[in-house]
Structure 1
């Protein structure tokens, strides 16, 4: 029952310029992006991360370093090619306003499963290798740290949307309905029965509160914590105040 925090890199100058950066090397966080990821690092400082797994592109490596920067537990950063940005091929480096005039643009919006970018990757290929990377790391984290291990994957907007679509049981053609902002955190808990999407596109929630330890298993009900709560369940418990009158 490992839990993964899907973190999109912070804002870059390509984002503000409306450029599809893709796998262009050297694209860095801008000043706003640096502040965004520093805030993510602060929000995650109390979360027991075992590993941060990052796309190899610089903007994600910068974000990963910001996540582990405030920590004192020696949480490692590991590069994972499976989390790299979608291969946009000939679209890479072009303005989004110009790409919106291409015939393929409408298919990207409505039927991404049918899209192969000219000279690049198909969106189904991107989804498959990203989901496979996350599930492989889930298995590794559980084997090394136990079923309640928490780890982070730092990646890109379309990649994270594809991983979330898989966790939600959505067809890839519906993944454009998801929003994944720069420096946002989405959380998926994987169990033997199904993934549970804890939160999507969080930019200010108390992540420690969302990642409370699961309840202990009751005797004779080995899969109780994997079952969905009929009726919606209790939800996250409110923080306990030291002041009884607070």
Structure 2
């Protein structure tokens, strides 16, 4: 019998004794690629019920069935932090999505700016990348990936209670900008490789929820900027600031 080292996201209810039917892709991965057999253990999460240990009840390469045994971890919801980012090249955009999930972003919001090179985004593919990252990093929450939207349209309906950290290279350091700021709903905005246009800068600067900050003296690639901003925000205001609550069930 194999130990439960594989984690799968399933969009189905989880609970002791609950049967979980796998789709064809999951079945192929589990039984053809990973060579799991009946009786082997797998870890499951659905973004709602925490993490459960399950065992293989039926092993078929096109369909399989798992049965939940017991909960191994409670649901851990990350801080209410959105990441707004302008898509770049395909590989770099995938990298941003993966690292944002690992660093605890609660929602991923692709935005099209004046200088964004990409005018379309495969949201389903990006959601799959987010799912794979959550499976690998031990997350029990799956951040949703929004459709690509123009930045102007996003700002038109920006929530009054959500602060927006605008990574603006012309401003002060990020640690200084976040000092003394309250928690609660936040978002981080990362621009495209060409930066923001003058028109966008004027609009962002006039938005009362915006907090401006620099990411240091060097120009960062978009994917590096996303990692840097998420890391510093988590250290200052997120769930890195206090000992984690127990994530184990029972």
Please give the TM-score of this superposition, normalised by the length of structure 2: 0.26
Larger strand fraction of residues: 2
Which of 1 and 2 has greater Rg?
A: 2
Larger helix fraction of residues: 1
Please give the TM-score of this superposition, normalised by the length of structure 1: 0.26
